């Protein structure tokens, strides 16, 4: 259908820029903050293996479906789904995928930006030496102090939203494309530097065993489900981000090969992040299973007490900030593209508008926080609700609908045309996964994470 209508938007300059931008979306707080701490919480090696299996069996096929829908639709997620439903003779209600996705993106941005704000704060804290030589109590106190200082939280949250808006306002090739072109290579370099530092000065052997030793007895049903849920979050699936990015993809590029590359880079970076973090944590006798505080408490304690820690700690948080920024832009791009294409709202205005909605959501997170009175895990009511509903309900549901549309509603010849580069055997396998295995797998995760089904 891209032949019959003029493309309403300009695309990525090349297939490589698409790969960098999509990898930028995928690699974020999920890889560097969340993956190491859930690996810690679920006991290491066995969890990592299941997570890898989830990426391979469900993540990659669903990502291919999402990118495929975007490239065939050639519009923002809402209009793409309308057009594709029409082409397939299916109900227009399939555009719900785009609507729900836009909402989920704004919900994720709300809390994502608050955490990214902590990261910005830590760049300065590591750089000004205030955590140098600090005991783990001091560091915990400093983190608590930040979480209860609303003005500071607001300031950093606002700064992060402004950066996100500035990039998205620049458009696909000048904004998103250039951000990917400049920031992603920087991210790779920083990550390798940190890996080297960590391997040289931390306990690499113990970290390696922790991450890769397979111990089946540690494998609970819940761990399997968390691994599958995280596979979705880390690949940016289920809300139309990849659909929007895919709509700017060159028509000639192979979807299978490109998606494989993105998933490979995302996984590699998560594993390297683990190998950059755990050796330091172990070398200082700290706990890998310390939960969300791993990056904001254990790690800064380690950095604060080692030679060169100030410099490398600063670089580490710059790296995390970059990863968060290139992800956050993909959270509002679907909505901005929709406002721009369908309602002819200028990109700058559309970005400001959606940034403002995300900002308000983050403000609600910050002002509903009564961490001091209730303790570390219970004080973030709005924050946790947004995370839970968006990540555990809307993303799996969106992914399920995407798989069902690609597998059942869309006409097979249209699908095959987009995936024409795929070897027949691989195409056959993909089709079985997208029609049966992925929907069933996602349904199980969804039912479990919403408490409708209790496994493990």
Contact positions vs ligand TRP (CB under 6 A) = 25-26, 28-31, 108, 233-234, 236, 238-239, 241, 327, 330-331, 395
Q: Return phi, psi of residue 202, to 5°.
A: -110, -170
Closest CA to 410 of 72, 99, 60, 67: 72
Class of residue 362 by CB neighbours under 10 A (exposed 0-12, middle 13-18, buried 19+) = buried
Minimum CB–partner distance for residue 137 and ligand TRP (Å): 30
Q: Which is nearer to ligand TRP, 140 or 330 (CB)?
A: 330
Q: How far apart are CA 372 and CA 154, in angstroms?
A: 17
Q: How many helices (H) and strands (E) does the chain have?
A: 23, 0
Q: How far is the CB of 201 from ligand TRP (least distance, A)?
A: 27
| Nearest residue (CB) to ligand TRP, 105 versus 202 | 105
Residue 165 CB, shortest distance to ligand TRP, in Å, is 16
Element (H, E) at 275: helix 255-283
Report d(CA 20, CA 275) in Å as an integer. 22
Structure tokens at 420: 């024409």
Rounded to 5°, angle at Cα 380 from 376 and 381: 135
CA distance linking residue 306 with residue 133, whole number of Å? 8
Q: How far apart are CA 148 and CA 157, in angstroms?
A: 14
Least spacing, CB of residue 239 vs ligand TRP, in Å: 4
CB of 232 to ligand TRP, least distance (A): 7
For the bound state, the minimum distance from the C-beta of residue 10 to ligand TRP, rounded and expressed in Å, comes to 21
Q: Which residues of 69-95 are buried (b: 16+ CB within 10 A; e: fewer)?
A: bbbbbbbbbbbbbbbbbeebebeeebb
Looking at beta carbons, which residue is closest to ligand TRP?
A: 30
For ligand TRP, the closer of residues 30 and 313 by Cβ is 30
Q: Which of 139/320 has CB closer to ligand TRP?
A: 320
Report yes or no: 372 and 379 within 8 Å, Cβ to Cβ.
yes
CB 241 within 8 A of CB 330: yes
Instruction: Give the residue with the Cβ less far from ligand TRP, 49 or 394.
Output: 394
Tokens read off for 110: 């709300």
Give the shortest CB-428-to-ligand TRP separation in angstroms: 28
Question: Toward ligand TRP, which CB reaches closer, 68 or 395?
Answer: 395
Smaller CB separation from ligand TRP, 233 or 380: 233
- Helix, strand or coil, per DSSP, at residue 269: helix
Give the nearest distance from C-beta 423 to ligand TRP in angstroms: 28
Nearer to ligand TRP among residue 241 and residue 339 (C-beta): 241
């Amino acid at each position: 259908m891209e032949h019959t209508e003029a493309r309403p938007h300009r695309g990525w300059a090349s297939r490589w820029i698409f790969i960098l931008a999509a990898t930028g979306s995928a690699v974020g707080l999920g890889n560097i903050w969340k993956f190491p701490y859930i690996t810690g919480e679920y006991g290491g090696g066995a969890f990592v293996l299941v997570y890898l299996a989830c990426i391979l069996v469900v993540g990659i096929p669903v990502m291919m479906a999402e990118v495929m829908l975007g490239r065939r639709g050639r519009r923002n997620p809402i209009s793409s789904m309308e057009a594709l439903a029409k082409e397939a003779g299916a109900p227009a209600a399939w555009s719900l995928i785009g609507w729900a996705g836009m909402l989920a993106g704004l919900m994720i941005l709300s809390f994502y930006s608050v955490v990214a704000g902590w990261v910005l704060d830590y760049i300065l804290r590591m750089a000004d030496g205030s955590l140098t030589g600090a005991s783990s109590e001091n560091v915990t106190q400093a983190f608590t102090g930040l979480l209860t200082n609303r003005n500071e939280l607001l300031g950093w949250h606002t700064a992060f939203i402004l950066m996100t808006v500035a990039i998205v306002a620049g458009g696909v090739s000048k904004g998103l494309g250039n951000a990917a072109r400049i920031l992603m290579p920087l991210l790779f370099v920083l990550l390798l530097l940190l890996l080297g530092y960590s391997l040289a000065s931390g306990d690499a052997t113990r970290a390696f065993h922790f991450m890769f030793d397979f111990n089946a007895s540690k494998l609970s049903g819940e761990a399997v489900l968390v691994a599958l849920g995280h596979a979705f979050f880390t690949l940016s699936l289920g809300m139309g981000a990849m659909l929007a990015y895919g709509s700017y993809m060159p028509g000639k590029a192979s979807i299978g090969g490109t998606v494989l590359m993105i998933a490979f880079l995302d996984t590699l970076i998560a594993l390297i992040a683990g190998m950059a973090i755990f050796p330091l944590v172990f070398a200082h006798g700290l706990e890998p299973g310390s939960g969300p505080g791993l990056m904001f408490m254990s790690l800064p304690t380690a950095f604060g007490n080692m030679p060169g820690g100030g410099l490398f700690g600063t670089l580490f948080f710059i790296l995390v900030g970059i990863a968060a920024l290139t992800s956050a832009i993909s959270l509002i791009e679907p909505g901005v593209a929709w406002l721009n294409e369908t309602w002819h709202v200028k990109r700058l205005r559309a970005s400001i508008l959606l940034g403002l909605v995300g900002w308000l959501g983050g403000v609600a997170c910050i002002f509903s926080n009564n961490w001091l009175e209730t303790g570390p895990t219970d004080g973030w009511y709005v924050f946790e609700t947004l995370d839970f509903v968006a990540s555990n309900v809307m993303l799996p549901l969106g992914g399920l609908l995407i798989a069902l549309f690609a597998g059942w509603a869309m006409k097979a010849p249209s699908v095959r045309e987009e995936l024409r580069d795929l070897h027949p055997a691989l195409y056959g396998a993909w089709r079985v996964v997208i029609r049966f295995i992925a929907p069933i797998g996602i349904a199980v995760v969804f039912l479990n994470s919403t408490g409708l089904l209790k496994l493990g």
